[in-house]
Chain A
Amino acid sequence: MTDPAAGNVTRLLHDAGRGDRGASDRVMELLYDDLRRLAVAKLGDMPPAATLQPTALINECYLRLVDKEIDYADRLHFFRLAGKVMRGIVVDYTRRHQTQKRGGGRHRVTLEIADRDGDRAVGEMAAVSEAMERLADRDAEAADVVLLKYFTGLSHGQVAEAKGISEARARRLWKLGTTLLAEILELE
């Protein structure tokens, strides 16, 4: 039997693609739940020091939730929403993480490596997450490419295919997006 949520998500995506905000929110909720569920399931088998790849999780969600023939437009929408969910997760996490650090952490010797190692990545992701809104103001199309590529891990070819543009253009938009982000973040 197919996942009962699958047909549901496919239709929601379709509605969301037509501008139904309620449908978008619902897909993001489902995605968020599913990402968490997958993360927890995986954790059990992993060494404490391991990290999870958002991209791998998103792909797994995609296969679980959207296991149907689906239009490319809807597929694009899925990855766009997944990217937003991932951004939200990163921002939440860094906020909480900073609070915890201030609150004094007697916790986890075992997560120490993950923390040390993950902090760099998360710090960067968080910075990019926060800067994404401003990027969208400056250039919506470039922001969309960064969202699809950075937060959901699509390749240039896949971004191009999903957006219906040439791969060369996808690459150049990526360059614009990252350059504008560098500017927003005042990288020297």
Chain B
Amino acid sequence: MDQSAIDKLANEAFVHVVDLPPPEREAYLTDRCTPAVRERVRSLLARHEAHADWLTTRPLDLPPAALLADTAAVIGDEPSLVGTTLDHFTITRRIGEGGMSVVYLAEDTKLERPVALKILRQGFGFSEVAIARFRREAMTVAQLHHPAIVPVYDVGHTQGVHYLVMEFIDGPTLAGVIDACRRDTPHHAQEREWQRTQASLIAEIADALEHAHRAEVIHRDIKPNNIMIDPSGTARLTDFGIARNRRFDRMTRTGQLAGTVAYMSPEQARGLRREIDHRTDVYSLGATLYELLTLRCPFEGDSVEDVREQVVHKPPRPLSQVNPAIPRDLQTICLKALDKDPDHRYQTASQVASDLRSWLDDRPILARPPGVARRVRQWTRDHRGPVAVASILFLLALVAALAIGLQTLARAGLTPVAFGTTLPDAMLWVQPLDAVRGTPTGPPIVRAVGPRTRVRLDAGLYLFRAEAGRQRLEAIRYVPTAEDRFDFREEIDRRDEPFVVALDRGPHAVDRTRMVQIAGGVFTTSSHPFATEPITIRMPPFWIDKTEVTNGAYKAFVDATDHPLPYHWRNEEPGLVYDPALAERPVVGVTLDDAAAYAAWAGKRLPTEWEWEYAMRQPGDRLYPWSTPPDWVVAPPPPAPRRGGAQIEWSNLLAAYAAATVDAGDDRGVATPLGILHANTNVSEITASVETEGALVSVVRGGSFRGVPAETPLTRRHTFRWGTSSVHRGFRCVATFR
């Protein structure tokens, strides 16, 4: 046996024995392997023990440059523009750079004055998002007029270069000043004077921030690098490159870290975008003041991750520890601005300015060092986890939390939900459900008297129910986080809009003859791909539609309500209109929201994926609607015609749909023994279930006209992106009756 054959056998044996207890391992190796293979496996096992988990199971982060490949040259050595002329600006020298841009000193030949030209790096020129963001900076700053904010004069685009024209400040940045001080140790001689100067600088910047905040602009990247000192000694705030501005908010992306980590507020470092308001700037201003006073950052660490961790969890090093000569009041001001909890910081930038000026004038400041209750709370937060908390401290913390924590609780990470019904005099309930199983995890958490209520809910699956007398309407809906509701295709940020659950019932009674009653029972299935064990659910009885919802029924719904038409009925492309000839075909091109709205209008709801599977597999847990493998073969669907080689047009997709689907009520195919049609044919079906691992996706069940029924068991599931639709996807409803 040659070595490679031995290695192959050893690999197999290794996989077989690696997780076995040593005696069984040995037994296997002795009984089943030749000496040469055994020796090789032992060497592998030894190496495995020495290097278990050496290759981290966590995916690694890459510096952005790695992904920029051929644009990386840009980030490194951009061809210098010195000496060239852009429009009427002659570039003199390079004075600074950032991740996205380079700043040059230039001469404005029309107005004969020096200006700073901020030029978008070439590599970003092709990114529309980058260009739009660059221009947004100009528009944002143009709204602001304050002596301590560096004005933007103009924005332009020439010869493929995008640029901003700004006032040229002939002076260093605060970061430069701090660096100089670090080198120049004897500055302690004039320490008091230094502190006074810095306090008044920060007060000026606080004024500028107050002005920006009133214009609803949040800077989000306050740090010494973005504060310049002009020749008259005045501090000037610059670089609104990542500022958030309500006017242009549609453009900002969700869930990304913006800002520089050492100066980032805890809420920013945690990526809690929704919780970021103007007080993030108050924090970063505090961090800047801290560095000015101590010449050290409040948090220092070996890696970005390390610093970020400290920003979120650790209190800053006391200033007196770094330099005992810092006056107590100045320390208090600094720490108040640096509070982890925005509610305990200065609430406005002007309060910072005001306390700094009080200190400068030797008047009492308003900020107080943290009190006992606060420290206990801080302590419990810092020692959460392994440390057993003495009960008395726990009680104290509880009192403290009750006193000051309620506000915070109410605010954290909740999605606003507008829940209402057309049912008169209804009682409204909201009950949390297990996100995977769809079964209740507890009693209803909201009870309100209708017709409308607004609640804030954690992201998750819920049963929404409206009850009036014997009438009942309900829906199972997943309430997404604000981030999940960001619409990537349209780039619309729906963060501030409530998630709407409308149990708006139409005039028609539910026709039970078109539904099938499903008896309750215990259902066990292994079709969830991520579940490690089979899922067992006790199913209450319910009713399910015999057929998919038809185009005609859906048309009646959109006609009666103002619900938007499916894209392919809007006549936005030639021929894409509602086709009465297809009225009995299953409706497609609808999103989960659309399907849910229809279901409510019809007095029904969407099934969870388990209800769907349970109903379809009755009786006897069959895998296919027919009890034995089919003796009939369906002709494969015609391939979707191509046009232009690549793009698939709606009209082509619809032609395939028209050719390959059948009427929803067409019972010539195979029905389940209970009489449910098209379980694994015609169109696949949207359910109320979602998957939240990774991105938020909706679960769709059954097969479509594109698939082969014999290869599509009733356990088959697909997922699709939340908020999208497809020409293969329809739905049917379920209902429970009292």
* Contact A41 B253, CB 8 Å, known A69-B684, A105-B76, A122-B63: yes
CA distance A35 to B62 in the complex (A): 12
Q: Which residues 73-91 of A sit at the B interface, judged by CB distance below 8 A?
A: 89-90
Q: Out of B130, B260, B530, B726, which one reaches A2, CB within 8 Å?
A: B726
Check if A57 is an interface residue, CB within 8 A of chain B. Answer: yes
Q: Which residues 25-58 of A sit at the B interface, judged by CB distance below 8 A?
A: 32, 35-37, 39-55, 57
A72 to chain B, nearest CB (A): 8
Instruction: Give the interface size bracket for A toward B.
Output: 35 or more
B726 touching A113 by the CB < 8 A rule? no
A48 touching B99 by the CB < 8 A rule? yes
* Contact A44 B684, CB 8 Å, known A51-B61, A121-B62, A172-B15: no
B532 touching A157 by the CB < 8 A rule? yes
A172 touching B98 by the CB < 8 A rule? no
List the A residue with the shortest CB-CB distance to B132.
Answer: A44
A4 touching B724 by the CB < 8 A rule? no
Q: Out of B11, B68, B99, which one reaches A142, CB within 8 Å?
A: B11
Check if B342 is an interface residue, CB within 8 A of chain A. Answer: no
CA distance A8 to B642 in the complex (A): 10
A182 touching B75 by the CB < 8 A rule? no
B51 touching A51 by the CB < 8 A rule? no
A124 touching B60 by the CB < 8 A rule? yes
B259 touching A47 by the CB < 8 A rule? yes
A167 to chain B, nearest CB (A): 7
Q: Which residues of B contact A176 (CB under 8 A)?
A: 11, 14-15, 18, 44
* Contact A8 B129, CB 8 Å, known A45-B242, A153-B59: no
A117 touching B304 by the CB < 8 A rule? yes
Check if A17 is an interface residue, CB within 8 A of chain B. Answer: no
Q: Which residues of A contact B130 (CB under 8 A)?
A: 40-41, 43-44
Check if B354 is an interface residue, CB within 8 A of chain A. Answer: no
List the B residue with the shortest CB-CB distance to A72.
Answer: B529
B304 touching A113 by the CB < 8 A rule? yes
A46 touching B256 by the CB < 8 A rule? yes
Q: How many residues of B contact A (CB 8 A)?
A: 84
List the B residue with the shortest CB-CB distance to A88.
Answer: B69
Query: Using an 8 Å CB-CB cutoff, how does the interface string of A145-168 with B read, 1 for contact, 0 for none?
Result: 010011011000110010000011
B55 touching A111 by the CB < 8 A rule? no
Q: Is the interface of A mostly helix, strand, loop or mixed?
A: helix
CA distance A89 to B63 in the complex (A): 12
Q: Which residues of B contact A93 (CB under 8 A)?
A: 62, 65-66, 69, 72
Query: Using an 8 Å CB-CB cutoff, how does the interface string of B41-77 with A read, 1 for contact, 0 for none?
Result: 0001001101111110101111111111101100111
A40 touching B127 by the CB < 8 A rule? yes
* Contact A138 B75, CB 8 Å, known A8-B648, A122-B66, A171-B19: no
Q: Which residues of A contact B684 (CB under 8 A)?
A: 69
B227 to chain A, nearest CB (A): 16
Check if B124 is an interface residue, CB within 8 A of chain A. Answer: yes
List the B residue with the shortest CB-CB distance to A55.
Answer: B59
Q: Which residues of B contact A3 (CB under 8 A)?
A: 489
CA distance A168 to B17 in the complex (A): 12
CA distance A141 to B717 in the complex (A): 26
CA distance A131 to B539 in the complex (A): 52
Q: Out of B50, B64, B242, B729, which one reaches A114, CB within 8 Å?
A: B64
Check if B700 is an interface residue, CB within 8 A of chain A. Answer: yes
A57 touching B67 by the CB < 8 A rule? yes
B54 touching A178 by the CB < 8 A rule? yes
Q: Which residues of B contact A70 (CB under 8 A)?
A: 718
Q: Which residues of A contact B729 (CB under 8 A)?
A: 69
A151 to chain B, nearest CB (A): 8
* Contact A179 B60, CB 8 Å, known A45-B242, A47-B257, A69-B700: no
CA distance A57 to B252 in the complex (A): 18
CA distance A45 to B530 in the complex (A): 33
B62 touching A118 by the CB < 8 A rule? yes
Identify the interface centre among A52, A69, A122, A171: most chain B CB within 10 Å of its CB.
Answer: A69
Q: Which residues of A contact B61 (CB under 8 A)?
A: 51-54, 118, 121
Q: Which residues of A contact B574 (CB under 8 A)?
A: none
A111 touching B124 by the CB < 8 A rule? no
B640 to chain A, nearest CB (A): 8
Check if A130 is an interface residue, CB within 8 A of chain B. Answer: no
* Contact A90 B66, CB 8 Å, known A37-B127, A179-B44: yes
A69 touching B720 by the CB < 8 A rule? yes
Query: Using an 8 Å CB-CB cutoff, how does the interface string of A90-101 with B read, 1 for contact, 0 for none?
Result: 101100110010
A50 touching B304 by the CB < 8 A rule? yes
Q: Out of A5, A43, A138, A187, which one reaches B64, CB within 8 Å?
A: A43
B10 to chain A, nearest CB (A): 10
A158 touching B530 by the CB < 8 A rule? yes
Check if B417 is an interface residue, CB within 8 A of chain A. Answer: no
Check if B694 is an interface residue, CB within 8 A of chain A. Answer: yes
Check if A18 is an interface residue, CB within 8 A of chain B. Answer: no
Q: Which residues of B contact A181 (CB under 8 A)?
A: 55
* Contact A63 B695, CB 8 Å, known A45-B256, A69-B700, A114-B63: yes
List the A residue with the shortest CB-CB distance to B63.
Answer: A118
B683 to chain A, nearest CB (A): 11
CA distance A55 to B56 in the complex (A): 14
Check if B258 is an interface residue, CB within 8 A of chain A. Answer: yes
* Contact A69 B718, CB 8 Å, known A122-B66, A172-B19, A173-B15: yes
B62 touching A138 by the CB < 8 A rule? no
CA distance A20 to B66 in the complex (A): 29
Q: Which residues of A contact B720 (CB under 8 A)?
A: 67-69
Q: Which residues of B contact A133 (CB under 8 A)?
A: none
Q: Out of A42, A44, A89, which one reaches B69, CB within 8 Å?
A: A89
A106 to chain B, nearest CB (A): 8
Q: Which residues of A contact B97 (CB under 8 A)?
A: 108, 110
Check if B111 is an interface residue, CB within 8 A of chain A. Answer: no
B55 touching A44 by the CB < 8 A rule? no
Q: Which residues of B contact A45 (CB under 8 A)?
A: 133, 242, 252-253, 256-258
CA distance A51 to B60 in the complex (A): 9
* Contact A179 B66, CB 8 Å, known A117-B304, A138-B7, A161-B529: no
Q: Which residues of B contact A43 (CB under 8 A)?
A: 64, 68, 99-100, 124, 130
Between A and B, 17 residue pairs with Cβ closer than 8 Å are A4-B648, A8-B647, A35-B67, A40-B68, A40-B123, A44-B124, A44-B133, A47-B221, A47-B259, A50-B257, A57-B67, A89-B69, A142-B15, A149-B57, A157-B530, A172-B16, A182-B55
Given contacts A45-B256, A51-B64, A172-B15, 20 further A-B pairs with CB under 8 A are: A1-B489, A4-B647, A43-B99, A44-B100, A45-B242, A45-B253, A45-B258, A52-B66, A69-B718, A93-B62, A111-B75, A118-B63, A146-B55, A168-B19, A172-B16, A172-B19, A176-B14, A179-B51, A180-B44, A187-B50
Q: Which 9 A-B pairs have the closest CB atoms?
A: A118-B63, A51-B61, A39-B67, A153-B59, A7-B648, A93-B66, A55-B59, A48-B99, A114-B63
